[in-house]
Amino acid sequence: MLHKFDLRTFAIMLTALALGLAWAFYNLNLAGGVRNDATVRPLVWVVFASPFALALGWLLARRHEAALAAFCCFCLYFFTFFVAQRIESLLLTTSEAAATGHQLHFQLVLAIHALGGFGFIVWRAREVHHGANPS
């Protein structure tokens, strides 16, 4: 079956994800490799910005999918911690990860958010939008 591609949904969600990733990347650079009380806020934005921005873009593109957007973006946010930590533990020892301030972990968070978010965008853009009452 051939799916129509919803360019409007794609553009809105991609723009939102790109803005979220840009904000997260900015905050990761702001924190640098230092981990202390002053870097907590930027690091929270690193893990929160992209799923939050994607959810807002999803709501803007398809308001009637609010529950689906909230669920999917929460799962992206929540499970990224575990996946990024597992990958980091396979590549670095505990002392190496601590010495770098878990920089790899936060870089993996950005990569997972980019890949997962793009997957959601393509999925929703391939689904034909029928307005507020899909049949």
Residue range 91-100: mean pLDDT, rounded: 94
CA 53 to chain centre: 8
Rg (CA), the chain: 17
- How far is CA 103 from each of CA 88, 94, 97, 107, rounded to the nearest angstrom? 9, 12, 7, 6
Average of per-residue pLDDT values in the chain? 93
- The domains of the chain are located at 7-126
Tens digits of residue pLDDT in 105-121: 999 999 999 999 999 99
Query: Long-range contacts: 79-82, Cβ < 8 Å, 24+?
Result: 80/47, 80/51, 80/109, 80/112, 80/113, 80/116, 81/47, 81/109
Q: Considering the entire predicted model, what is its pTM?
A: 0.89
Tens digits of residue pLDDT in 45-81: 999 999 999 999 999 999 999 999 999 999 999 999 9
- How far is CA 52 from each of CA 20, 46, 59, rounded to the nearest angstrom? 7, 11, 11
